[in-house]
């Protein structure tokens, strides 16, 4: 997504020259990236996973009652007792560590945006200024679109979170011709009173720029935007997702954004500026780099990406 709001123009980004010797030594491999995040994400990332699903079919065994031969048959009542009212199922439809939590997943872009350029070019207020409603997103050199990627990963993510008992809402799910606009995406999370919102993306930078990064909201108070209450929680959410993403995928932090930390703070994204609940974006890799593209187009890797994001969300919500 290295674009203004959601559109990454395939422009190269410079690798900042302020990388420390320690980071430069740690990031050359996926294992090194894991060590970076193990150190930076705190004790939580070295603890056992907290979001594993309950074993299928697990029940609580009841104590056996007295033998029927030792107990006289009771006299049938003259009227039938009312049937007990069943307990309401937990949110998400399953018991688990995330039961009762609401997560909003925001698949970046929409496959239909290509056919609705006039609509998505409409300007909307993002607090700090006015930006395009939405953009088409980027694609690999072979034509695999960012919109297709984000939908696939988001659907996998929903399945993983619902297995943990979470209630998962999408900003869109093949139910709209285009969009929604970035301001509406923010409102959907706000209206849901989400415990966490994650916007899924892939970048469109220059070849040779590799790795993932998580975008955090900057401190913004302008117009209808006020991120004061969510900057801290969003950073916590983003750090945990980054740490778990390294572990699940083996990918290293971006070598062109974030100085090796995999974290990037921005104030030009309406989806973050207008959010009143903890929210981050994740750029899972660079679609314009052949090596990253090979990962992004792999079904097996996309499942790992979804797992890493789910683990990070679970770590944040069960902290």
Q: Yes or no: say if 289 and 207 are a contact pair by the CB < 8 Å rule.
A: yes
Is 47 labeled as catalytic in the residue annotation?
A: no
Largest CA distance in the chain: 86
Rounded Cα distance, 269 and 65, in Å: 62
- The answer to whether the beta carbons of residues 126 and 274 sit under 8 Å apart is yes
What is the 3 state secondary structure string of the chain? Answer: CCECCCCECCCCCCCCCCCCHHHHHHCCCHHHHHHHHHHHCCHHHHCCCCCCCCCCCCCCCCCCCCCHHHCCCCCCCCCCCCCCCCCCCCCCCCCCCCCCCEEEEEECCCHHHHHCHHHHCCEEECCCCEEECCCCCCECCCCCEHHHHHHHHHHHHHHHHHHCCCEEEECCCCCCCCCCCHHHHHHHHHHCCCCEEEEEEEECCCCCCCCEEEEEECCCEECCEECCCCHHHHHHHHHHHHHHHHHHHCCCECCCCCCCCCEEEECCCHHHHCCCCCEEEEEEEECCCHHHHHHHCCHHHHHHHHHHHHHHHHHHHCC
Catalytic residue of the set 132, 162, 239, 283: 283
CB-based contact 290:297 (threshold 8 Å): no
Catalytic residues: 283
């Amino acid at each position: 997504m290295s674009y203004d709001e959601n559109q990454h123009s395939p422009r190269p980004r410079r690798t900042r020259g302020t990388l420390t010797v320690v980071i430069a030594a740690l990031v050359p491999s996926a294992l090194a990236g894991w060590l970076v995040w193990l150190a930076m994400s705190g004790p939580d990332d070295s603890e056992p996973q907290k979001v594993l699903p309950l074993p299928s079919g697990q029940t609580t065994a009841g104590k056996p009652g007295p033998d029927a031969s030792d107990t006289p048959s009771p006299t049938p009542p003259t009227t039938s007792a009312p049937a007990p009212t069943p307990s309401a199922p937990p949110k998400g439809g399953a018991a688990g560590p995330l039961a009762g939590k609401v997560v909003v997943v925001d698949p970046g872009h929409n496959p239909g945006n290509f056919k609705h350029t006039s609509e998505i070019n409409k300007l909307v207020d993002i607090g700090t200024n006015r930006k395009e409603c939405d953009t088409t997103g980027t694609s690999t050199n072979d034509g695999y679109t960012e919109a297709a990627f984000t939908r696939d990963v988001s659907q996998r993510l929903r399945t993983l979170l619902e297995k943990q008992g979470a209630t998962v809402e999408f900003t869109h799910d093949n139910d709209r011709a285009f969009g929604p606009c970035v301001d509406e995406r923010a409102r959907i999370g706000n209206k849901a009173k989400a415990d966490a919102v994650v916007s899924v993306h892939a970048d469109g930078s220059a070849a040779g720029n590799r790795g993932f990064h998580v975008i955090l909201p900057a401190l913004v108070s302008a117009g209808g935007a006020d991120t004061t209450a969510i900057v801290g929680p969003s950073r916590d959410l983003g750090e945990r997702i980054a740490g778990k993403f390294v572990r699940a995928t083996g990918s290293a932090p971006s070598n062109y954004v974030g100085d090796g930390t995999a974290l990037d703070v921005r104030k030009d994204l309406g989806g973050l500026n207008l959010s009143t609940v903890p929210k981050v974006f994740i750029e899972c890799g660079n679609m314009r780099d052949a090596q990253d593209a090979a990962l992004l187009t792999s079904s097996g890797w996309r499942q790992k990406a979804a797992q890493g994001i789910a683990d990070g969300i679970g770590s944040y919500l069960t902290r």
